[in-house]
Amino acid sequence: MSETLLVTPLHALHIEMGAKMVPFAGYDMPVQYALGVKKEHLHCREFAGLFDVSHMGQLRLKGEGAAKALEKLVPVDIIDLPSNKQRYAFFTNEEGGIDDDLMVTNFGDHLFVVVNAACKTQDIAHLKVNLPSDVELEVIEDRALLALQGPKAVDMLAKLNPSVANMVFMDAEKVELVGVECYVSRSGYTGEDGFEISVPAEQAELLARELLANDEVEWIGLGARDSLRLECGLCLYGHDLDETTTPVEASLLWGISKARRADGIRAGGFIGSELILEQIATKNVSRKRVGLIGKTKAPVREGAVLFDANDNQIGVVTSGTFGPSKGMPVAMGYIYTSFTDIGTEVFAEVRGKKLAMTVEKMPFVAQSYYRG
């Protein structure tokens, strides 16, 4: 079946570097390299990790009404998003659920949007149906996407262009790297300081090799990407977020801009806003996303059912692994709101055994974003 999988512009380099490849969101993607998942994870926390995320969808929205049009589809302030700034957003549906989460950057003459690989076909269709005729949607097919993450990321990228050191978290700039214009944002999906770099596909391998020439930089696969984001409390769409889960249930209130809330200057006006704003006002949801820490060494995986002390089913794990930095099992999941207090003991069923876990504040490992 692998011949039907799509490949990124860096596929041959992954093979050359000894990557173990797996199918992911329709692509043949590296899950790990020779270091192995645990060492890759710890290397990224201490030095710098390089990730190929070219499977993600890259889009441009052009036209004077682009910000206003996109704002009707997300509960985020896009109209007043400053130039060269990026914001996290999510597409909502009529039932208040989340159809995808995405990053939006204002580059002045256009909005640059990055969507999840598994959702990009439906996201593009959603935009085409909902954008007015004066807003042009361009699907970018000729660029790769790299993420350079970790405490040494800024030093490594500044060797190629010193100006990146002046950027702060969620800044985005057009920056020349290896002789070509790249779209660089100071952001990422590991909880560490770092950058995401949209680079012309033809120069992607050159840029990757330039970064990997530093001893501090190692390729990191999907396995460690997952454990890194989970330790830092970051959601994975299709697991911790889906079309049946509202932002309030998902504990993503920070992702709903003040301007779009009930008392905001542009209150509501997005798909599903009535239900979502009502949930914010009444706090009336039956379940919430929480962090969970295991009391044994056994990891608790996605799909594990959660119980209370009286053996009543109270929820489910949506992401779980052993956290290499935390040194213990970490997970997140949804449980009934009456069990969401920090320190509450719950029990996860793993291979017929009930393993004790406690509800814990996220992130499990402190985020290290550079805010200046």
68: phi then psi, degrees, rounded to nearest 5? -65, -40
pLDDT in tens, 60-105: 999 999 999 999 999 999 999 999 999 999 999 999 999 999 999 9
Nearest CA to 366 out of 274, 228, 220 is that of 228
pLDDT classification of 3: cutoffs 50, 70, 90: low
Q: Report if pTM > 0.95.
A: yes
Is the pLDDT confidence value at 2 over 90?
Answer: no
Q: Mean pLDDT across the stretch 157-171?
A: 98
Is the pLDDT confidence value at 6 over 80?
Answer: yes
Token representation of residue 184: 């660089």
Q: Mean pLDDT across the stretch 36-54?
A: 98
Q: Mean pLDDT across the stretch 31-54?
A: 98
Handedness of CA 281, 283, 288, 289 (dihedral sign): positive
Token representation of residue 242: 């889906």
What percentage of the chain reaches a pLDDT higher than 70?
Answer: 99
Q: Give the E-state strand segments of 65-216 in sequence order.
A: 85-92, 98-106, 111-115, 136-140, 143-149, 172-177, 180-185, 194-200
pLDDT, averaged across the chain: 97
CA angle 159, 156, 170 (to 5 degrees): 105
pLDDT at site 1: 41
